[in-house]
Structure 1
Amino acid sequence: MKRFTYTRAETVADAVAILADRPQAQFLAGGTNLVDLMKYDVERPDAIIDINSLPLKEIEELPDGGLRIGALASNSAVAYNAQIQARFPLLASAILAGASPQLRNAATTGGNLLQRTRCSYFYDPSTPCNKREPGSGCAAIGGLTRMHAILGASDKCIAVHPSDMCVALAALDATVEVVGPDSARDIAFGDFHRLPGDEPQRDNTLARDELVTGIRLEANRFAGHHTYLKLRDRLSYAFALVSVAAAMEIADGRIVDLRIALGGVAHRPWRDPLVEAEYAGAPAEDVTFQRVADRLLFEAKGLGGNDFKILLARKAIVRALRQAASGRPQSQTLKAIQ
């Protein structure tokens, strides 16, 4: 691990100002991803800015019936918050599907947004990786691709985003609040994470000198019809092969509003609002769900080792929509697929 200096920021303004003065610095919150990457010599900051003293842990009511989640609220605090469970149970379910209780106690909302891919080649500095060193190549292409992308990949990178929480936030149309040296701004969740394109080293659209301060969720009518379905190699503490966050509003057996986002299949949580809009008014039944799956996966492409993900994703989408429509969401306690 590279030697670094340590500073504790006491205010948001202090944190941003320190970062502006130290371009190679990084913020430290829960550290559940950053510390691992530093140990593997993948991340090599020359300074660490501890932001755990900042007043960003609250979950607050918004006038429109929504909620604001502070960037330093732990994953456990969010998942077990009574208002989250009542109004945004999809988010609570997605968080409980990820990691372990110990990690959820430490991991933060903002850190979850910013976590890096778990691609084994990215974690191995002895292999070429365009995310670590732009222009060096991608060892995953032509290598072991079982965990890699079937949507939105490029010839520079085929890694996938690892978060469960972010898949639910994508489906819920969350807004990310950030602060920079000169101003604050909002980023629509769908615009926050990037596809790799020609710049796979850039995971998101956050500026280098900005700090995530919170997440806003607008009121919705999805609490009665939602599910988070995660398919993985084992039933606990494993990253998704494919995951589906599904939510819908139903009236008289027909879909009024549909949201669906996929995890484990792309460099960012995968969502297509145009496909969702196509099925407004459609009957909430398997024929519709199969058509939604076909549309979402129309451009899916396997790389040999991950070809199975296309069929797995198709079946997962149909099952998740069926669960959501029936009002019987996937249990993250029992874990067995319903």
Structure 2
Amino acid sequence: MKEFGYERAFDVSGALALLDADSGARYLGGGTNLVDLMKAGVERPTRLVDVRELPLDRIEAADGGGLRIGATVTNSDLAAHPEVRRKYPALTQAVLAGASGQLRNMATVGGNLLQRTRCGYFTDVTKPCNKRVPGSGCPAIEGEHHNHAILGASDHCAAVHPSDMGVALTAFDAVVSYETADGPGELPLTDFYVPVGDTPHLETALPPGALITGITLPPAPVAAFSRYRKVRERASYAFAIGSIAAALDVRDGVVHDVRLAFGAVASRPWRARAAEAVLTGAPAGSETFAAAADAELAAAEPLPHNGYKVALMRNLVVAVLTELAEEAAR
């Protein structure tokens, strides 16, 4: 591991100043992703700016009945918060589906959104990778890609985003707040991640040096009737090969409101807008659910060894929506 400096920040302005003074510095939250990448030689910061002591560790009510979640709230605290469990149960389920209890105790909400792909070519510095070294190539396209993207990929990168939390936050229209030396800003999570295109090394729309300060979940009554389902290759402590965050409001047998987002199928949590459009106002039944899944997955472009994800995601959509519809009918 390359030698690096370490500074602890105690206020947002101090954190911004420390990063501004060193172009090679990085913010450090729980370190559950960054430190691993440093050990592998993928990340080589000159300095770590520890932000765990910043006053950003609270979950509070937001206007209209939503929630504001501070960037240094731990994953464990987020999953356990009674208002999160009551208003956004799929978010609690998504967090609990990720990693181990020890990692959730360390990992932060802001850091979770910024975690980088678990693609084996990205984490192996002896291999080319456009995300790590722009222009070097993407060996996953012709190589090992069974867990790679089927939506929104390009010839330059087919890696997927690993966050479970991000999938649920995307379904519920979360907004990311950040601070820069020029002042505060906001980004809807659906715009937070940059499409792969020919620049996969550019992952988010955050301005240089920006510090995530929190996430706002707007009020969404439908979110109270939600579920997160994750499919993985072993029973626990594994990244998804496909996942879904779904919320469904059924009235008199008709879909009144719905939210859908997919995980482990694209370089970012994937909001399923086409499926939502098919579902809204339609009968809440298996035929409608299958048609919605097909509408979203029509854009899928699987590689030779990950086409199974199309059927997997179709089955997930139908199964989870059916469960939610049956609960609504009780």
- The within-5 A match list for 1:274-293 is 274-293=274-293
1:308 aligns with 2:304: no
Q: C-alpha deviations, 1:102-129, integer Å up to 9, x for none? A: 1111100000000000001000000000
- Flag the 1:71–1:258 CA change in 2: closer, same or farther, 3 A: same
CA distance in 2, matches of 1:130, 1:223: 37
Partner of 2:131: 131
1:1-338 correspondence to structure 2 within 5 Å: 1-327=1-327
Distance in 2 between the 1:204 and 1:197 partners? Answer: 13
Residues 273-329 of structure 1: per-residue CA shift (max 9 Å, x gap): 34413321111110110011101100112211111111111111111211222239x
Structure 1 spans left out of the alignment, 5+ residues: 329-338
Structure 2 counterpart of 1:41, one-letter code: G
Instruction: Give the AA of the match of 2:266.
Output: A
Contact 2:79 2:92 in 1 (8 A): yes
CA 1:184–1:224 in 2, change beyond 3 Å: closer, same or farther?
Answer: closer
Please state whether the residue corresponding to 1:278 is helix, strand or coil. helix
Identity of aligned residues (%): 50
Quote the RMSD (CA, aligned, Å): 1.1
The one-letter code sitting in structure 1 at the alignment partner of 2:268 is: R
Conserved? CA contact 1:301–1:310, under 8 Å: no
CA distance in 2, matches of 1:241, 1:289: 21
> Aligned partners of 1:231 and 1:326: how far apart in 2?
21
Alpha-carbon spacing, 1:5–1:50, altered in 2? closer, same or farther (3 Å): same
What SS does structure 2 have at the residue aligned with 1:247? strand
TM-score where L is the length of structure 1: 0.95
More helix by share: 2
Q: Check whether the contact 2:70–2:109 (CA below 8 A) recurs between aligned residues.
A: yes
1:272 deviates by: 3.3
1:75-132 deviation line (CA, Å, top 9, x unaligned):
0000000111011111111111111111111100000000000001000000000011
Give the distance between the partners of 2:261 and 2:134, measured in 1 at CA: 29
Q: Deviations over 1:260-283 (max 9, x none)?
A: 000010000111334413321111
Q: Quick one: distance in 1 between partners of 2:327 and 2:40?
A: 43
Give the deviation of 1:204 after TM superposition.
1.1
Given that 1:225 and 1:326 are in contact with CA atoms closer than 8 Å, whether structure 2 keeps it comes out as: no
Per-residue deviation, residues 179-220 of structure 1 (Å, max 9, x unmatched): 000110110110001221111011111112100000001111
Equivalent pair of 1:171/1:246 in contact (CA under 8 Å)? yes
Task: Output the TM-score relative to the length of structure 2.
Answer: 0.97
Aligned equivalent of 1:332: none
For structure 2, the 5+ residue unaligned runs are none
Deviates more, 1:301-310 or 1:258-267: 301-310
Aligned equivalents of 1:177 and 1:223: distance in 2?
21
Q: How many residues align?
A: 328
Note if contact 1:248-1:257 (Cα within 8 Å) is conserved in structure 2.
yes
Q: Give the Cα–Cα distance (whole angstroms) in 1 for the partners of residues 60 and 207 of structure 2.
A: 26
Asked if the contact 2:88–2:224 (Cα under 8 Å) also holds between the matched residues in 1, the reply is no
Native 8 Å contact 1:72 1:109 kept in 2:
yes
